[in-house]
Every structure is written in C-alpha cells, then in structure tokens.
C-alpha cells in the first residue's frame, strides 16, 4: 500500500492547528500561518483547505458557544485528529530522509 503525502500547504495548516490547540479557528489559524510563512493567506483558500482536511479525516471541528464579542456568532474550532498527527509524523520522517546529507544549499557555479 502506497502512502499519499499531504501537501506543504496542508502541512502548514495542520501544524498551525496543532500549535493553537483549543484556540484554532479561522482568524488565529490564518495569523499563525501568515507569521510562520511571511506570506498573506486568503481566508477563503484556508477554509477550503480546512474543510478538505476535515473530509479526509485529518481534522475535526466543533462550534464554540456564541460570544457577545462576536455579535452572538460561534467560532468554528478545529482540532487535529489521530490521522492528522500520523500524516504530520509521516511527512516529517520523509523530509528528514530527503534532506539528510544535504548541507547548505548554494548557487551552482556556471
């Protein structure tokens, strides 16, 4: 049986959810990824990926109690599933293997 690896973007999302724990919802996930990558990620793109990761079983989600600060709206909190943890462990193991014995990358001499 061959393993299907998660994409780099999926990896970033899963790691952000793991880091944020009970505080992993749209805004905090986006802020975490923006800070980690130095790039601005669109909310729409993130939510599409979060929903896809949940469908694949890497994440679960639930709605928190509504808050008056949000005008009575609930936050959708994401949580890493055991399958998500497994996917991150696998991709990390592969990355370590692929990058082993490679020193500092430099521009090739022409």
The tens digit of pLDDT for each residue in 3-20 reads 688 999 999 999 999 999
Question: Is the pLDDT confidence value at 93 over 50?
Answer: yes
Q: What is the pLDDT, as a whole number, of residue 74?
A: 87
For range 44-69, the mean pLDDT: 91
Domain 8-94 has CATH 1.10.10.10: yes
Helix (H) or strand (E) holding 77: strand 76-80
User: pLDDT grade, residue 48 (50/70/90)?
Assistant: very high
Question: Is the pLDDT confidence value at 85 over 50?
Answer: yes
**Beta carbons of 26 and 76 less than 8 angstroms apart:** yes
For range 76-91, the mean pLDDT: 96
For range 59-88, the mean pLDDT: 88
Q: What is the pLDDT, as a whole number, of residue 9?
A: 94
Give how far Cα 109 sits from Cα of 8, 45, 47, 106, Å.
29, 39, 43, 9
């Amino acid at each position: 049986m061959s393993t299907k690896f998660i994409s780099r973007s999926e990896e970033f999302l899963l790691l952000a959810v793991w880091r944020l724990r009970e505080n992993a919802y749209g805004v905090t996930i986006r802020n975490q990824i923006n800070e980690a990558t130095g790039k601005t990620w669109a909310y729409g793109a993130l939510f599409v990926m979060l929903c896809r990761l949940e469908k694949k079983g890497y994440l679960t989600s639930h709605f928190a109690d509504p808050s008056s600060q949000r005008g009575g709206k609930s936050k959708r909190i994401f949580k890493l599933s055991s399958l998500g943890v497994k996917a991150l462990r696998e991709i990390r193991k592969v990355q370590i293997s692929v990058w082993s014995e490679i020193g500092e990358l430099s521009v090739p001499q022409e």
